[in-house]
Structure 1
Amino acid sequence: MKRSWRKISYQCFVLIFVSLFILFGCKGGTKEEQKDVIKVGILHSLSGTMSISETSLKDAELMAIEEINSKGGILGKKVVPIIEDGASDWPTFAEKAKKLIEKDKVATIFGCWTSASRKAVLPVVEKYNGLLWYPVQYEGFESSPNIFYTGASANQQIVPAVEWLISHGKKKFFLLGSDYVFPRTANKIIKAQLKAMGGTVVAEEYTPLGHTDYSTIVNKIKATKPDVVFNTLNGDSNVAFFKQLHAAGITPKDIPTISVSIAEEEIRGIGAEYMKGHYAVWNYFQSTDTPENKEFVQKFKNRYGQNRVTDDPIEAAYIQVYLWAKAVEKAGSTDIEKVKQAAKELEFKAPEGNVKIDGENQHLWKTVRIGVVMDDGQFKEIWNSGKPVKPDPYLKSYSWAKEISGQ
């Protein structure tokens, strides 16, 4: 009886020991494993009206992370992405950003597209001391200590585009945009610049994100006969607009458009036959002729399919992961303040050419490029700034911008 009791007691002891090991030992192991990884957030619209543009940014960021991990990671640690869907809804972006920072404890977030989503995330990263890397051109008039801006500011896209158009005799502008902060602010800039340069605005129209009926606006374009349509529509509204413009018989020879939110990825969704001959202004095209870009394009196609394309926001999303990684390596830490300090004046040989993080405002020095859409949906570059342009998000260097910048 004693032996039997001893046997049962021993079995109970072993069972309790194993249970405690599973309960506490595994947790300890997980914590040890967590010390060997750096978690980062990826926050883009993977559904809704903006998914046509943003899904590929997620792909580019994942590719950069895979490449970094294949070379040993950062500080000897593997980078682990946590992906969230902003769902083309600005409150959702704020909610997901808080979750990534507070619950997931990510070292940084790569994300957003629209200025509305960025502005929703901004107070979150500032309140909880997170770090956002934002890869899309925008209207400027912002400089948060918790955001790095790797797309163009207005003086690296909108302003030089207007200058180029005026120099080519395009003085009557039809302004068309989606109804949110970026297009409205962009058009304030354009109107102030045109006033100073002798141009005029024949009409200014806005439609909600996701809008699809452009018949009235197309008729207004016909009636006002502008020299150019300056297009700040975002998302899949561009598909409807350009198809309806084409159906109305308005060609680029009659009235060209110049866009600041349509790149190779959007042309893929719209159809090159509707876009041929129209213009766009960016800092990068898939056709940009650098050795780094040839390698980047090939890697992206090898990873995601030969039918895929690269474009400016895709490239900015890709390089911002490397810029963050370089800053972390230089800082020797993922600590936000140390990373920010290490990132100042950091340079990188990107597919678009040399870029540099401006130490004053955490924007990038970037080369400006204007291209025309060709038969294959690619851009032929027809003008560039010749060298990287210093970011001027508040347009302090332009006297005509005082009325909108509050200088």
Structure 2
Amino acid sequence: WPTFAEKAKKLLQKDKVAAIFGGWTSASRKAMLPVVEQNNGLLWYPVQYEGMESSPNIFYTGATTNQQIVPAVSWLLENRGKRFFLLGSDYVFPRTANKIIKAQLKAEGGQLVGEEYTPLGHTDYSTIISKIKEVKPDVVFNTLNGDSNVAFFKQLKDAGITAKDVTVMSVSIAEEEIRGIGGDVLAGHLAVWNYFQSTDTPENKAFVEKYKKKYGKERVTDDPIEAAYFAVHLWAEAVKKAGSFDVDKVKKAADGIEYKAPGGTVKIDGETQHTWKIVRIGEIQANGQFKELWNSGKAVKPDPYLKSYPWAKNLN
């Protein structure tokens, strides 16, 4: 993670960039946060995250928790069952996400039957899979990151556990990860995002076509790709409105700016510097794409500190 801070510092101090687009995982963002604040830079972070953060020098174009985790838990309680097993990688995002999920389960009548964390890059899930078999949850809420997902899902399948036996809901498995793990291994399991390659809008049809033309027809788009793509467009619109690349002027101009993104119209919320987004739950198909099961119908206002949820008032 220190590499992210080091490179952000170089971009701002030496290269004098007007904006940085990127970061991957909350640990990388938290490493860059003091750098962009101290140098009054601008970071556009495109990945869903655990909320509980707002920086005057960061625009968040990935989902915050009320645009991903919270609606997913409510949907699961209504459609898949009350018994939850939480599985995550051992770092800031899963730990914070699961703290939120536990408070929500308590408030909405769910039951926690297990909670496990493994180091990033961990590959042996036999003991945890034995625990899942033993406690028989309705849902495994998965906040594993990176290669651990490959190991977990392959070992789950090898243990004879399919999506018919237990629903695994993931927040970090998108089309690119399915390509690496295999649609046959993941078929039937669920993920919650704001965008799928299969999202049916004219903008997305054109976006996917252009993306494949540039990067290869076997390549796939996904949520963080779309969020990084429209981040550049939102920034450009703010620059045009401000008539300047100056960070303070761009920030001021950004409030309320809208863009017709591939996944639907997105809008910057000036108060939090997060983005209004539609929420989508999809079922993974054997061909590596998602079949949408549910969406929020309209863009959801970002609420990074979950102020609109009474059950979240003791979280920080």
Structure 1 segments unaligned to the other structure (5+ residues): 1-89
Q: Look up the match of 1:209.
A: 120
CA distance in 2, matches of 1:218, 1:297: 37
Residue 283 of structure 1 and its aligned partner are, at CA, apart by: 0.3
Q: Look up the match of 1:378.
A: 289
Is structure 2 residue 21 aligned with structure 1 residue 110?
yes
Q: Look up the match of 1:400.
A: 311
Q: Look up the match of 1:196.
A: 107
CA distance in 2, matches of 1:145, 1:306: 39
CA distance in 1, matches of 2:77, 2:213: 41
Is structure 2 residue 257 aligned with structure 1 residue 257?
no
Q: Look up the match of 1:323.
A: 234
Summarize the alignment of residues 239-388 of structure 1 with structure 2, pairs less than 5 Å apart.
239-388=150-299
The answer to which structure has the higher helix fraction is: 1
Q: Look up the match of 1:130.
A: 41
Whether the 8 Å CA contact 2:20–2:43 is kept in 1: the answer is yes
Whether the 8 Å CA contact 2:141–2:169 is kept in 1: the answer is yes
Residue 200 of structure 1 and its aligned partner are, at CA, apart by: 1.0
Is structure 2 residue 30 aligned with structure 1 residue 119?
yes
Is structure 2 residue 137 aligned with structure 1 residue 226?
yes
CA distance in 2, matches of 1:295, 1:108: 26
**Percent sequence identity over matched residues?**
77
Change (3 A) 1:169 1:371: closer
What TM-score does the superposition give when structure 2 sets the normalisation length?
0.99
State the one-letter code of the partner of 1:314: I
CA distance in 1, matches of 2:42, 2:242: 15
CA distance in 2, matches of 1:359, 1:117: 23
Structure 2 segments unaligned to the other structure (5+ residues): none
Find the residue that maps to 1:403 and give its secondary structure.
coil
Whether the 8 Å CA contact 2:143–2:170 is kept in 1: the answer is yes
State the one-letter code of the partner of 2:308: S
Find the residue that maps to 2:51 and give its secondary structure.
coil
Deviation per CA, 1:340-369: give whole Å up to 9, x if none.
011111000000001100011110000000
Is structure 2 residue 147 aligned with structure 1 residue 236?
yes
Residue 331 of structure 1 and its aligned partner are, at CA, apart by: 1.1
State the one-letter code of the partner of 1:356: K
State the one-letter code of the partner of 1:232: T
Q: Look up the match of 2:92.
A: 181
Task: Provide the aligned C-alpha RMSD in A.
Answer: 0.7
Residue 94 of structure 1 and its aligned partner are, at CA, apart by: 0.7
CA distance in 1, matches of 2:182, 2:126: 19
CA distance in 2, matches of 1:137, 1:276: 22
State the one-letter code of the partner of 1:230: F
Q: Look up the match of 1:11.
A: none
CA distance in 1, matches of 2:279, 2:85: 23
CA distance in 2, matches of 1:344, 1:287: 29
CA distance in 2, matches of 1:102, 1:291: 40
Find the residue that maps to 2:315 and give its secondary structure.
helix
Q: Look up the match of 1:58.
A: none
Summarize the alignment of residues 44-193 of structure 1 with structure 2, pairs less than 5 Å apart.
90-193=1-104
CA distance in 1, matches of 2:130, 2:10: 46
Residue 113 of structure 1 and its aligned partner are, at CA, apart by: 1.6
CA distance in 2, matches of 1:311, 1:279: 15
Whether the 8 Å CA contact 2:80–2:139 is kept in 1: the answer is no
Find the residue that maps to 1:253 and give its secondary structure.
coil
State the one-letter code of the partner of 2:70: V
Tell me whether 301-310 or 324-333 shows the greater mean CA deviation: 324-333
Find the residue that maps to 2:314 and give its secondary structure.
helix
CA distance in 2, matches of 1:155, 1:266: 23
Q: Look up the match of 1:38.
A: none
How many aligned residue pairs are there? 316
State the one-letter code of the partner of 1:229: V
State the one-letter code of the partner of 1:114: T
Find the residue that maps to 1:267 and give its secondary structure.
helix
CA distance in 2, matches of 1:261, 1:233: 7
Residue 401 of structure 1 and its aligned partner are, at CA, apart by: 0.3
After superposing on structure 2, the runs of 4+ consecutive aligned residues of structure 1 that deviate more than 6 Å are: none
Residue 169 of structure 1 and its aligned partner are, at CA, apart by: 4.2
Q: Look up the match of 1:68.
A: none
Whether the 8 Å CA contact 2:80–2:167 is kept in 1: the answer is no
